[in-house]
Amino acid sequence: MWERGIEEEKVLAELEVASSHDLQFSDGRIMGSMCTLPRPVSLKAHMDFIESNLGNAGLYPGTKALETEIIEQLGQLMNGRNISGHIVNGGTESNIMALWIARNMTGKKEVVFPKSAHFSFMKACDLLAMTPIEVPLDENFTIDLDKARWAISDKTAIVIGMAGTTELGLIDPIRELADFIPSNTFFHIDAAFGGFVIPFLNDMGHSLPDFDFSIPEVSSMTIDPHKMGMSTMPSGAFLVRHPEHAEKIATRAPYLTLLNQTTLSGTRCSAAVASTYAAMRSLGRSGYRQIVRDCMEVTHHATARAVEMGLELVTEPVMNVLGIYLPEGKEPAAVQATLKKKNWMVSVAENPKCLRLVIMPHVKKENIDSLFIDLGDVLAQ
Ligand code: 0PR
Does residue 174 fall inside a structural domain? yes
As beta bridge partners, residue 187 has 159
Q: What is the mean pLDDT of residues 371-378?
A: 97
Q: Is 210 in the pocket of ligand 1 (CB under 6 A)?
A: no
> Average per-residue pLDDT in the chain?
96
190 ligand 1 Cβ < 6 A: yes
Domain range for 256 is 40-281
Residue-wise pLDDT for 216-259, tens only, equals 999 999 999 999 999 999 999 999 999 999 889 988 887 777 77
Do 321 and 195 lie in one domain? The reply is: no
**Do 208 and 77 belong together in one domain?**
yes
Q: Which pTM was predicted?
A: 0.97
Same domain, 140 and 259: yes
Position 329 pLDDT exceeds 90:
yes
From the CB of 224, is ligand 1 less than 6 Å away?
Answer: yes
Q: What is the layout of strands, in order, in the sheet containing 220-223? A: 84-88, 236-240, 220-223, 186-190, 156-162, 110-114, 131-135
The arithmetic mean of pLDDT across residues 90-116, rounded, is 98
CA 45/CA 40 separation, integer angstroms: 9
Is 3 inside a domain boundary? no
Confidence check: pLDDT of 212 > 90: yes
Q: How far is the CA of 130 from the centre of ligand 1 (A)?
A: 21
Q: Are residues 233 and 292 in the same domain?
A: no
Q: What is the CATH number of the domain that holds 62?
A: 3.40.640.10
* CATH code, 348: 3.90.1150.10
Q: Report the number of distinct structural domains present in the chain.
A: 2
Residue of minimum CA distance from atom 16 in ligand 1: 166
Residue 228 included in any domain: yes
What's the CA-to-centroid distance between 331 and ligand 1, angstroms? 23
CA–CA distance from 227 to each of 36, 73, 232, 239 (Å)? 7, 17, 9, 16
Q: Answer yes or no: do 18 and 72 share one domain.
A: no
Handedness of CA 283, 289, 293, 296 (dihedral sign): positive
Verify that 244 and 321 share a domain, yes or no. Answer: no
d(CA 108, CA 99): 10
Q: Which of 242, 258, 281 is the last residue of a domain?
A: 281
User: How remote is the CA of residue 34 from the centroid of ligand 1, in Å?
Assistant: 6
Structure letter (DSSP) for residue 32: S
Regarding the beta carbon of 231 and ligand 1, being less than 6 Å apart is answered no
Looking at the fold, whether 174 and 30 belong to one and the same domain comes out as: no
Ligand 1 in reach of 196 Cβ (< 6 A): no
Residue at 16: amino acid letter: E
Q: What is the pLDDT of residue 381?
A: 87
Position 2 in a domain:
no
Q: Tell me the three state secondary structure of residue 110.
A: strand
- pLDDT at 253 (0 to 100): 82
Mind listing the pLDDT tens digit for each residue in 75-99?
999 999 999 999 999 999 999 999 9
Strands 312-313 and 131-135, by their bridges, are unpaired
Looking at the structure, tell me whether residues 229 and 311 fall in a common domain: no
| 123 and 146 Cβ atoms separated by less than 8 Å | no
Atom of ligand 1 minimally distant from the CA of 165: 3
Q: Does residue 226 sit in the same domain as residue 297?
A: no
pLDDT tier for residue 269 given thresholds of 50, 70 and 90:
confident
Instruction: Report the pLDDT averaged over residues 271-296.
Output: 98
Amino acid identity, position 22: D
Atom of ligand 1 nearest to the CA of 91: 11
pLDDT, tens digit, 9 for 90 and up, residues 41-50: 999 999 999 9
Taking residues 254-279, what's their average pLDDT? 88
Q: Name the nearest CA neighbour of 96 among 235, 238, 231, 267.
A: 238
Mean pLDDT throughout 263-270?
Answer: 90
Q: Among residues 281, 296, 331, which one ends one of the domains?
A: 281
If phi > 0 it is left, if psi is from -120 to 50 it is alpha, else beta; for residue 68 that is: alpha
Q: Do 215 and 318 belong together in one domain?
A: no
Q: How far apart are CA 306 and CA 192, in angstroms?
A: 27
CA distance 363 to 314: 21
Mean pLDDT of 296-305: 98
Q: What is the pLDDT of residue 270?
A: 92
Is 144 in contact with 173 (CB distance < 8 Å)?
no
Residue 298 Cα distances to 105, 205, 248, 322, 373, angstroms: 44, 18, 43, 11, 16
pLDDT tens for each residue of 14-67: 999 999 999 999 999 999 999 999 999 999 999 999 999 998 888 999 999 999
Same domain, 34 and 45: no
Rounded average pLDDT over 295-305: 98
Q: Give the three-state DSSP class for 87.
A: strand
Residue nearest to atom 25 of ligand 1 (CA): 33
